Structure 1
Amino acid sequence: YDDRFIFNTDGTFTYITNNTNDDAGTDTSGTVFGRDGLVSDLGSGGTLNGADVENLPYSDYTEDYVLIAPGGAETISLSGLGFISYYIGGSHNYEIFDRSVPNELVLRSTDGNGEFDWWFTITSEEEEPDVVVDYELVWSDEFDTDGAPDAANWTYDLGAGGWGNGEAQTYTDNAENVIVEGGFLKITAKADGSSYTSARIKSIGLQEFTYGKVEISAKLPSAQGTWPALWMLGANFPTVGWPACGEIDIMEQTGGDKNTTLGTCHWFDNGTAANASYGETTAVANASTEFHLYSIIWSEESIQISLDDVPFMTLSNSADFPFNADFFFIMNIAMGGTLGGTIDPAFTEDTMEVDYIRVYQ
């Protein structure tokens, strides 16, 4: 886009329709686009493309703006034919739906036909400089002592599968399912006759944190039906339950797609949904043969999940979410269930290896 919108302190709104010519000077020419049947308010011309009219000649202009709040919704009201980006007619009012992200406004407006709500994101000309955060390592487990996982850091979930997801495994603390060996934590799922065993370790009551950067270096199982996860739950889980405690899935992988990783947050949405969630996926190559870095950067402003230091999921945090108190870590391999899916009938065993987990604040 080459549009620029200037909200002046004197209450005037200037729309520069082509900021690449001279920004706002002698050459005021430019083009705009809009909804067919509505954009004719601005004149004739342009190219019809489906329901849009593109490249309609239109020069820079100035109107007035005022902030109003109908029904308590903060709204920009433009005078005359003033509009933002894509002409839809209507009231020329743009509700500020969200402004929690620095240098961004997410706007919503209803078109003149009363058919659609249209959404716009506008960002400032000059972004704030990147804030350099000086992180300091506050805790880690490097898994460098052979034997059972360090009891100062880890305890276990034990028992038959299900866990609310229809899983097929029984969790144990046996060395054949969980052991530290050769500098790696190894969690192994095994076939046990017609059933399966595995392990789920957790740091509840031992290592719990609010905010920071978490890095986990791991190599994942490859067998169909395995459901590995590196994740977090709110430390108040024993008293408030799930999803009210909140859940942060740093890494999950389905049983049928070993070339994708999932990053997801779950919470209780003020009683309107038992499980509200937001997540994204990203491609991961050689996840079962190479170690990759699964990480989050978590603050009171946002939760950002990354693969190999490349962010792929960001959730804006707020006081309305449960992500502002201590959380603990969980590492496990489930078998089957909602994300594990169909287990390979020839499955015998498979392992997730973790090189380290590190917390910086």
Structure 2
Amino acid sequence: MKIINLANRAGVLTLILLFVFQSCSSNNDSTDTPVVITPDKISLQVDVVGKTAEMPNGDGSGKINLKVDAPNAKSYKVVVNNETKEFTTSNFSYEFTQPGTKSYIIDVTVFNGIKYTNTSTTVNIFVARKVIWADEFNTDGAPDAAKWGYDLGTGNGFGNNELQYYTNRSENVKIEGGLLKITAIKENYQGSQYISSRMLTKGKFSFKYGRAEVRAKLPVGGGTWPAFWLLGDNIDTAGWPLCGEIDILESVGNKPDVIHSSLHSPGRSGNTPDTKTTTAPNSSTEFHIYAAEWSEESIKFFVDDNLFYTFKNSSTTPFNAKFFVILNLAMGGNFGGTVDPNFKSATYEVDYVRVYN
């Protein structure tokens, strides 16, 4: 019995020593695990730039400064105007660009490792309309090559069975006396009966959403077909009509003073159902302003700021990407119709082209 007790005592002592050794070893090898605390007491301060009692929604710049106060926060995510921004400082600036006075929700999430807290606020912002691109055509000579390029070749090559050959010759396109003048001339050239010009900002300028307008005086004569329009930047890869087309101004000399505004998209191209007309009295003797205001929600068409057509935009149309600007004067074709046999020349005069935010 004594021998067994001694053995038991030795076993107990061994277990105690082993426990102590393991505890000491564990304490020596371990590192402190940081305690991750969920950020709390989150608060937001939104300063609208230029806000006064007279201008409660800001000075029109569309700028805000946001300050986030959240103890224990290490990083931040802000969702505003369908854009997501991530940063590691508690201060954030943003500039709204869509003109008008609108209400926006700002969602903020603050993180401390994998733990987070979020909140939101609403801000009313006024954004003044401002020019983001323009050509005033104030310098005589050729159009600015930094702003404009040309489509060259036969009208048949551009569809619609048009009769002209497009050139960049000074006889067909020039700036004179503060006006851009695109002139169609009856002349046999490279197998075509007429020459004219088609200029575009492709590869030089394009934009998504905003207002595009031209102040112009239209040409006279049966068969003339002046236009001011927008075409999708991705035309070379997507093709037409998948790229989308926005015709702000089209008119034909066979129906003077009738203004067409149309949209072309897949399944709704060629003789598109998305079109409306209005009149611009004395359009060949007086200047008028032809414009479109384009947003995620709609495309609105105006003559002299009189709204005559609203197209409901949506995520299913191609009208939610960048487009470039085109000015041209075609002759005849499916839309231009029969050319007056006595036609010799006609000029499409443009005072300016402006694109606003």
Aligned to 1:180: 175
Aligned to 1:146: 140
- Please say if residues 145 and 183 of structure 1, whose CA atoms lie closer than 8 Å, have aligned partners that are also in contact: yes
Aligned to 2:247: 249
Larger radius of gyration: 2
* Percent of matched pairs sharing the same residue: 52
Cα offset, 1:167, TM superposition? 0.5
Aligned to 2:186: 191
Cα offset, 1:133, TM superposition? 5.1
RMSD, matched Cα: 1.7
Aligned to 2:154: 160
Cα offset, 1:254, TM superposition? 2.1
Q: Which whole-Å deviations, capped at 9, do the CAs of 1:319-356 have from their partners, x for residues lacking one? A: 10001111001111110001110000010000001100
Flag structure 1 segments of 5+ consecutive residues without an equivalent: 1-130
Aligned to 2:129: 135
Q: Which whole-Å deviations, capped at 9, do the CAs of 1:64-109 have from their partners, x for residues lacking one? A: xxxxxxxxxxxxxxxxxxxxxxxxxxxxxxxxxxxxxxxxxxxxxx
- Please say if residues 267 and 275 of structure 1, whose CA atoms lie closer than 8 Å, have aligned partners that are also in contact: no
Return the match for 1:313 from 306, 309, 312.
309
How many corresponding residue pairs? 229
Q: State TM-score, norm by structure 2.
A: 0.62
Flag structure 2 segments of 5+ consecutive residues without an equivalent: 1-124
Q: Which whole-Å deviations, capped at 9, do the CAs of 1:205-249 have from their partners, x for residues lacking one? A: 101010001121000001111011000100101111111100000
Higher helix fraction (1 or 2): 2
1: CA distance, partners of 2:269 / 2:155: 25
2: CA distance, partners of 1:359 / 1:232: 11
Aligned to 1:30: none
Aligned to 1:348: 344
1: CA distance, partners of 2:231 / 2:356: 18
- Please say if residues 241 and 269 of structure 2, whose CA atoms lie closer than 8 Å, have aligned partners that are also in contact: no
1: CA distance, partners of 2:218 / 2:197: 14
Moved over 6 A (4+): 272-275
1: CA distance, partners of 2:290 / 2:261: 9
Aligned to 2:233: 235
Cα offset, 1:138, TM superposition? 1.1
| CA gap 1:212/1:222 in 2 versus in 1, 3 angstroms | same
Q: State TM-score, norm by structure 1.
A: 0.61
Cα offset, 1:161, TM superposition? 1.8
Cα offset, 1:132, TM superposition? 6.6
2: CA distance, partners of 1:139 / 1:172: 25
| CA gap 1:308/1:273 in 2 versus in 1, 3 angstroms | closer
2: CA distance, partners of 1:275 / 1:258: 20
1:292 equivalenced with 2:288 (yes/no)? yes
2: CA distance, partners of 1:322 / 1:220: 29
- Please say if residues 243 and 275 of structure 1, whose CA atoms lie closer than 8 Å, have aligned partners that are also in contact: no
Aligned to 1:339: 335
Aligned to 2:203: 205
Aligned to 1:301: 297
